[in-house]
Amino acid sequence: LRTTLLFLSPKGLYTAPDSCKGRCQEPYSPEDECHCNAECERHRNCCEDYYRHCREEGFSSSRDAITDEELLQVSEQLYKADHNKARPTDIAINPQYQASPDETGDQEDRSPQPLYKYVNEALFSKPTYASFIRLLDNYQRATGREEDVTAEELREQDIFLREVMKTELMKKLFAFLHKKNRYGSEQEFVADLKEMWFGLYSRGDGELDSSGFEHVFSGEVKKGKVSGFHNWIRFYLLEKQGVVNYFSHNFEGPWDTYPDVLGLQFSWDGFYKEVGSAFIGSSPEFEFGLYTLCFIARPGRACHLSLGGYSLSIQTYTWTKSTYGDGKMYIATAYVISS
313 Cα distance to chain centroid: 12
For residue 134, the Cα-to-chain-centroid distance in whole angstroms is 19
Distance CA 34, CA 48 (A): 8
Angstrom distances, CA of residue 149 to CA of 138, 155, 208, 211, 220 = 8, 10, 10, 12, 16
- The three-state secondary structure class of 48 is coil
**Are 318 and 329 spatial neighbours (Cβ–Cβ below 8 Å)?**
yes
CB environment 12-49: b (16+ within 10 A), e (fewer): eeebeeebbbebeeeeeeeebebbbbeebbbbbbbbeb
Q: Are residues 314 and 180 in contact, defined by beta-carbon separation less than 8 angstroms?
A: no
Q: Which residues of 95-132 are buried (b: 16+ CB within 10 A; e: fewer)?
A: eebebeeebbeeeeeebeebbbeebeeebeebbbbebb
Report the alpha-carbon distance of residue 225 to residue 205 in Å, rounded.
17
Q: Any idea which residues carry the catalytic annotation? A: 215, 230, 273
107 half-sphere exposure, CB direction, 13 A CA radius: 8
Helix orientation angle between 284-297 and 186-198, rounded to the nearest 10 degrees: 90
